Amino acid sequence: MLVEVIVAISIVLTGIVATYTLATRAIGLNRVVAERHIATYLAAEGIEMVKNFIDSNVLAGQPWNRGLSDGRYELDYSPANNMFSLVLTGAIVRPLNYDPATGHYLFSGSFPATRFRRLITLANLGGGNELRVESRVDWETRGGATFAVDLENHFFNWR
C-alpha cells in the first residue's frame, strides 16, 4: 500500500511539474511573439517614413530622392511639427524611446528607452532611378537572446 501511494504521488507531481513547465514556457514565448510583432511594425514604419519622405519631395517639386543619399540612418518622425528627420549614424544605433501618452516610438525626447533599435540603410541604384531601402530592427530579450527583423523595399523614379 505504501508503494502504491508513493507511485501515485510521483505521478501527480510529474503532471504538476510538466504543466508548470509548459505554462512558463508559453508565457516566455508569448513575450517573444509580442516583441517580434512590435519590431515588424517598427521596421515597416521605417520603410513607410522613407516613402513619405519621397512623396514630400515630389509634392514640393523637388527631385524625388533629394536628401536620400547612400548610408545608414536613424529615421525619426516628429508628430509635434509633422516633420521627418534623417540622421546619419555610425556603427552604434540608439534605442528607440517610447512615449506612452501618444504611443509613438521616437529617437528624440526624454521618454523611457526600449529594447528596440531601428537602422535604415539607403542605396541609390540604377543611375539614381531606384532607391533600395532596408529597415532593420533588432532587440535583446530579457534572457539575453538577440532577435532581428529585416525588411527591404525598392522605390523607383516613375513620376
Listed residue (71, 122, 113) closest to 94, CA to CA: 113
C-beta of residue 157 within 8 angstroms of C-beta of residue 128 = yes
For residue 85, how many other CB atoms are within 10 A of its CB?
A: 14
pLDDT at 41: 94
Q: Rounded to an integer, what distance in angstroms lies between the CA atom of residue 135 and that of residue 48?
A: 10
What is the CB-side half-sphere exposure of residue 88 using CA atoms within 13 A?
Answer: 5
Q: What is the pLDDT of residues 15-25, one digit of tens each?
A: 999 999 888 88
Whole-number average pLDDT of the chain: 85
Q: Where are the domains of the chain?
A: 41-156
Gap between the Cα atoms of 155 and 102, Å rounded: 30
Q: CA-to-CA distance for 20 and 22, rounded, in angstroms?
A: 5
The pLDDT score that the predictor gives to residue 85 is 62
Query: What is residue 77's three-state secondary structure?
Result: strand
* Residue 94 confidence (pLDDT): 85
Above 80 in pLDDT, residue 77? no
Strand-pairing partners, residue 136, are 119, 150
The model's pLDDT over 81-115, given as tens digits with 9 standing for 90+, comes to: 556 566 656 556 788 888 888 788 887 777 788 89
Residue 13 to residue 6: CA distance in whole angstroms = 10
**What are the tens digits of pLDDT across the range 106-138?**
877 777 888 999 999 999 998 889 999 999 999
Please give, one letter per residue, the 3-state secondary structure of 86-125.
EEECCCCCCEEEEECCCCEEECCCCCCEEEEEEEEEEEEE
Closest by Cα among 52, 88, 48, 92 to 72: 88
pLDDT given for residue 90 in this prediction: 58
Average pLDDT over residues 55-76: 87
79 confidence band (pLDDT: 50, 70, 90) = low
